[in-house]
């Protein structure tokens, strides 16, 4: 979020706390007002303030800003959990690089603190360079252990916040407290989306049409809130349970090519409904079929 957006959010919350009515004016709507009013989309403070005021006065059905609720708490916890995880990934990569230089091959699986401790205890540096690498590896190992403790504390706070929110989202298959925190926190007030299609466009799950030359082609969207899209991706791509599910899924199971949503092949179950490919018009017919039905091959030759 850019600094102007942060300042606007703080000012809006202060005005709402003071009892004022504040509406949310989308940036695209303000830009459209600037273009239609002056013919130019140049954005400066006077033009931007005027376009926002005109849009707030004339545009119907703008969303009214409300005070920050429990969803904002979940958003803050989700962002903190993601930041800790990203920082731990960077530290682990640096530690693994040093471990590979101290021991041939390093650790052949996912590096964790216990494996790194056992490996560094077996390393006996023979040169000053190896001693420096081992000291740096020990420092990075301490950072990893500290970040692991922070992740556990972050997960505990998220579980408590989800329990306090009273949401039923965790009743869906594949949705735990962490994913539920991401979904609620990054979605915000769900009533601000006019339809499920608008929400799909916001989270990046709606495909984008790239048709050309009479061909209708869709591709995966790279727009929208990528953190929210990642949470939906995690909830969707969990391994399928062999037993019948007792809880509904967040998303419908993705059908493979040639199958319906329930995983059945419609053409295999109904052979008479299989698509028949007509013969090519340029394909040669036998000589017996050329001419009238009563004429033979010798007569035509």
On whether the CB atoms of residues 206 and 226 are closer than 8 A, the answer is no
Residues 6+ apart with CB under 8 A from 273: 266, 267
Q: Which two tokens stand for residue 98?
A: 């040093």
Structure confidence at residue 40 (pLDDT)? 65
CA distance 49 to 59: 15
Structure confidence at residue 1 (pLDDT)? 44
Per-residue pLDDT of the chain (301 residues; tens, 9 = 90+): 445 566 777 888 888 888 888 888 888 888 888 888 766 666 776 777 888 888 888 888 888 888 888 888 999 999 999 999 999 999 988 888 888 888 777 776 777 777 788 778 887 887 898 889 888 888 998 999 999 999 999 999 999 999 999 888 888 888 889 999 999 999 888 888 888 888 888 888 888 888 777 788 888 888 888 888 888 888 776 554 444 445 566 655 554 444 544 555 444 544 444 444 444 444 444 444 444 444 444 444 3
Nearest to 245 by CA among 197, 174, 168: 174
On whether the CB atoms of residues 126 and 101 are closer than 8 A, the answer is no
Structure confidence at residue 248 (pLDDT)? 60
Structure confidence at residue 70 (pLDDT)? 87
How long a stretch of residues is the chain? 301
Instruction: Classify the C-alpha dihedral 160-163-167-168 as positive or negative.
Output: positive
Structure confidence at residue 76 (pLDDT)? 93
């Amino acid at each position: 979020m850019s600094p102007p957006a942060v300042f606007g959010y703080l000012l809006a919350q202060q005005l709402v706390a003071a009892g004022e009515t504040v509406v949310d004016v989308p940036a695209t709507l303000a830009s459209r007002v600037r273009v239609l009013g002056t013919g130019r989309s140049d954005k400066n403070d006077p033009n931007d303030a005027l376009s926002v005021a005109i849009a707030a006065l004339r545009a119907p059905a703008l969303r009214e800003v409300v005070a920050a609720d429990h969803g904002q708490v979940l958003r803050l916890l989700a962002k903190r959990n993601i930041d800790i995880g990203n920082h731990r990934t960077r530290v682990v990569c640096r530690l693994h690089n040093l471990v590979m230089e101290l021991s041939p091959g390093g650790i052949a699986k996912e590096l964790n603190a216990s494996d790194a401790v056992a490996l560094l205890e077996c390393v006996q540096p023979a040169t000053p360079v190896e001693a420096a690498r081992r000291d740096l590896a020990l420092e990075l190992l301490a950072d990893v252990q500290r970040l692991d403790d922070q992740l556990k504390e972050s997960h505990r706070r998220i579980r408590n916040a989800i329990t306090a929110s009273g949401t039923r989202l965790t009743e869906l298959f594949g949705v735990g407290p962490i994913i539920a925190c991401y979904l609620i926190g990054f979605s915000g007030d769900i009533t601000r989306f006019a339809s499920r299609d608008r929400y799909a466009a916001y989270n990046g799950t709606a495909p984008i049409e790239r048709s050309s030359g009479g061909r209708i082609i869709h591709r995966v969207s790279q727009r929208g809130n990528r953190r929210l899209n990642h949470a939906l991706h995690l909830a969707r791509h969990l391994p399928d349970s062999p037993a019948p599910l007792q809880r509904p899924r967040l998303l419908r199971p993705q059908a493979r090519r040639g199958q319906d949503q329930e995983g059945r092949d419609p053409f295999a179950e109904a052979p008479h409904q299989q698509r028949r490919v007509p013969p090519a018009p340029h394909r040669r017919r036998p000589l017996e079929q050329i001419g009238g039905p009563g004429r033979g091959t010798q007569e035509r030759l």
